[in-house]
Amino acid sequence: MEPIRTLRSRTVVLPVSDIDTDQIIPARFLTTTTREGLGRHLFADWRYAPDGSERPDFVLNQPQAAGCTVLVAGHNFGCGSSREHAPWALTDFGLRAVISTQFADIFRSNALKNGLLPVLLEQDAHRWLIEHPGADVTIDLESTMLTLPTGAAVRFPLEPFARYCLTNGVDELGFLLGRAAQIESFESQRSRA
């Protein structure tokens, strides 16, 4: 995984609450056996008309969304299905961070494992971002601060371990494999019990 220390981008705003992972990527695209190339199915039912053409009124299809790596969404993003295809689709599309006032647990965990940063903001800063689409923001992982174009900086919570993994490009599997001795001893204690 590539280390991430700072993200700078204009935002793209999708002001809908409770966006579930079935919207992020519908189940009919889960018959894949790889994780690549899912960006084209991101928000498929909102992004495309029945004939497959792009809906011009959907925010990700608008010219100002091009090149944006930060998505601002409504409350409780990523609820529902545990499909990791959701962060795979978001990152394959080019997004590196999602900003919301609440993330579903499994989505947050999946996102962090794929270098997609869930930025949990308090309501005032979140509302400001919803009201100012295309704002230039800077997200700094070392200080866990998000800076608005007004110069205001707001802190967001990020678990120390998640921050360590993201900023160093460490994957958790390596960390867990490094605990083999403890796992071994746990298993042997249990089998004696």
Partner 1 sequence: MAAPQTLFEKVWRHHEVVAETADTPAVLYIDLHLIHEVTSPQAFTVLRQRGLGLRRPERTFATMDHSTPTRTEQVFGGAPITLEDAARQVSELERNCAAFGVELLGLRDARRGIVHIIGPELGLTQPGKTVVCGDSHTSTHGALGALAFGIGTTEVGHVFATQCLLQRKPRTLAINVNGALQPGVTAKDLILAIIGRIGVGGGTGHVIEYRGETIRALDMDARMTVCNMSIEAGARAGMIAPDETTFRYLAGRPRAPQGEAWAAALERWQQLPGDPGARFDREVDIDAAALEPMMTFGTNPGMVIPIGGTIPERTGDPAFAKSLAYMGFAPGERIQEHPVNVVFVGSCTNGRLSDLRAAASLLRGRKVASGVHMLVVPGSQQVKRDAEAEGLDRIFIDAGAEWRESGCSMCLGMNGDLVPKGHYAVSTSNRNFEGRQGIGARTLLASPLTAAACAVRGRVTDPRELL
Any contact of residue 54 with partner 1 (CB under 8 A)? Answer: no
List the one residue from 74, 128, 138, 149 that touches partner 1 (CB under 8 A). 74
**Segments of 55-135 assigned E as strands:** 70-73, 97-100, 117-120
Task: Considering only the stretches 56-64, 99-107, 131-139, 144-152, report the one whose residues sit in contact with partner 1 under the rule CB under 8 A.
Answer: 99-107
Any contact of residue 42 with partner 1 (CB under 8 A)? Answer: no
Any contact of residue 82 with partner 1 (CB under 8 A)? Answer: yes
Any contact of residue 106 with partner 1 (CB under 8 A)? Answer: yes
Q: How far apart are CA 26 and CA 98, in angstroms?
A: 19
DSSP 103-121: B-HHHHHHHHTTT-EEEE-
Task: Considering only the stretches 54-62, 110-118, 138-146, 150-158, report the one whose residues sit in contact with partner 1 under the rule CB under 8 A.
Answer: 110-118
Given the complex with partner 1, which of 15 and 149 has the nearer CB atom? 15
Any contact of residue 180 with partner 1 (CB under 8 A)? Answer: yes
Provide the token pair at 46.
Answer: 């909102």
Task: Considering only the stretches 61-69, 132-140, 147-155, 180-188, report the one whose residues sit in contact with partner 1 under the rule CB under 8 A.
Answer: 180-188
Provide the token pair at 180.
Answer: 């083999």
**Residues whose CB is less than 8 angstroms from the CB of residue 177 and which lie 6 or more positions away in sequence, other chains included:** none
**Segments of 95-182 assigned E as strands:** 97-100, 117-120, 136-140, 145-147, 153-155
Residue that has been written with the tokens 């295309």 in this structure:
134
Residues lying near partner 1 in the complex (CB under 8 A): 15-18, 20, 22-23, 26-28, 30-35, 45, 50, 74-76, 79-84, 87, 102-106, 109-110, 113-114, 159-161, 164, 172-173, 175-177, 179-180, 182-183, 186-187
